[in-house]
């Protein structure tokens, strides 16, 4: 299944041309194009910093076999959201995971059980501790980088407002048809509206009701995972990188 929204390679050109028209640039030469594209990139960085937008979120999943404590994600992760195996794992330093493995090996202690911790290596490999003692479900939530090609259609106007209000106002203040401060205010308002419209309040409310009705013993929280190993396995971290590879479909986990 092709994720939504589908990439639109012509969006950047349209946005640049709209910026040029609003600034009354009759002919958009190479210098103008480089300048306007720089504004667009800056606006995207600003918008990305405002939160995790729905169209950037992705999920990859796999089935881990016993001992699969090293997962090659198949590409560089832009921003990691959460890791489950099968419950949510706690993020720790890579040094901590290596230390626990070495202590288990040195003292002939168990190295497998229910995974409780994970660490990210070089942006593309996940290390689990302890290693799974048996086959278990695995999922990782991650975000793609904000790129103009994958924006929803309604975001074109948001990017134009941001470019004009934050940068165009300093480049040619007199060219703008309305007061520059008003344009930047419209950009901020558009971001707030996009945030409200992307929130699925029905799902959030339903989850809250489910949690409220669940018994204390049945609740699963981020801190409920055990970090104690109870069994012995030959871990993937000793047999070679890439013992488990997570396929991510049409969009790979990588940044260009």
Q: What is the pLDDT of residues 13-44, one digit of tens each?
A: 999 999 999 888 888 999 999 999 999 999 99
Residues 141 and 62 in one domain: yes
Do 37 and 127 fall into the same domain? no
The alpha-carbon radius of gyration of the chain (Å, integer) is 24
First to last CA, the chain: 22
Same domain for 141 and 97, yes or no, is yes
pLDDT value at residue 97: 95
- Within 8 A by CB and 6+ apart from 165, the residues are 180, 181, 183, 184, 185, 186, 187
Q: Which ranges constitute the DSSP H helices of 23-174?
A: 30-48, 94-106, 155-163, 169-171
Q: Are 96 and 118 in contact (CB under 8 A)?
A: no
Q: Are residues 76 and 138 in the same domain?
A: yes
Q: Which of 2-11, 46-55, 98-107 is the least confident region?
A: 2-11
Q: Are 226 and 50 in contact (CB under 8 A)?
A: no
Q: Specify whether 65 is located in the same domain as 80.
A: yes
One domain for residues 235 and 136: yes
User: Is residue 90 pLDDT above 80, yes or no?
Assistant: yes
Distance of alpha carbon 49 from alpha carbon 246, whole angstroms:
27
Cα separation, 68 vs 128, whole angstroms: 8
**Is 123 within 8 Å of 77 (Cβ atoms)?**
yes
Same domain, 156 and 193: yes
Taking only the tens place, the pLDDT of each residue in 97-130 is 999 999 999 999 999 999 999 999 988 889 999 9
Q: How far apart are CA 246 and CA 61, in angstroms?
A: 7
pTM greater than 0.75: no
Q: What does DSSP assign to residue 164?
A: I
Q: Is residue 215 part of a domain?
A: no
Q: Which tokens in the block code for residue 210? A: 């489910």
**Residue 3 belongs to some domain of the structure:** no
41 shares its domain with 31:
yes
**Count of domains forming the chain:** 2
Q: At what angle do helices 30-48 and 11-22 cross, to 10 degrees?
A: 110
Domain that holds residue 167: 11-52+147-197
């Amino acid at each position: 299944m092709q994720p939504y929204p589908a990439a639109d390679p012509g969006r950047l050109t349209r946005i640049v041309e709209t910026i040029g028209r609003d600034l009354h640039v009759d002919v958009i030469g190479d210098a103008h194009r480089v300048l306007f594209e720089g504004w667009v990139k800056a606006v995207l960085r600003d918008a990305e910093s405002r939160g995790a937008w729905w169209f950037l979120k992705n999920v990859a999943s796999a089935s881990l076999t016993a001992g699969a404590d090293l997962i090659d994600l198949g590409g560089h992760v832009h921003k990691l959201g959460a890791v489950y195996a099968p419950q949510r794992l706690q993020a720790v330093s890579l040094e901590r995971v290596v230390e626990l493995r070495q202590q288990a090996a040195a003292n002939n202690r168990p190295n497998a059980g229910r995974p409780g911790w994970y660490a990210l290596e070089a942006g593309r490999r996940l290390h689990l501790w302890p290693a799974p003692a048996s086959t278990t479900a695995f999922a990782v939530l991650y975000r793609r980088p904000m790129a103009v090609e994958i924006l929803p259609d309604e975001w074109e106007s948001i990017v134009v407002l941001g470019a004009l209000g934050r940068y165009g106002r300093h480049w040619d203040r007199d060219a703008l048809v309305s007061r520059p401060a008003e344009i930047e205010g419209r950009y901020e308002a558009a971001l707030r509206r996009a945030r409200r419209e992307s929130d699925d309040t029905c799902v959030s409310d339903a989850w809250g009701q489910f949690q409220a009705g669940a018994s204390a013993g049945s609740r699963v929280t981020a801190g409920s995972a055990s970090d104690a190993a109870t069994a012995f396995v030959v871990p993937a971290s000793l047999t070679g990188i890439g013992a488990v590879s997570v396929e991510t479909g049409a969009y790979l986990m990588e940044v260009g």
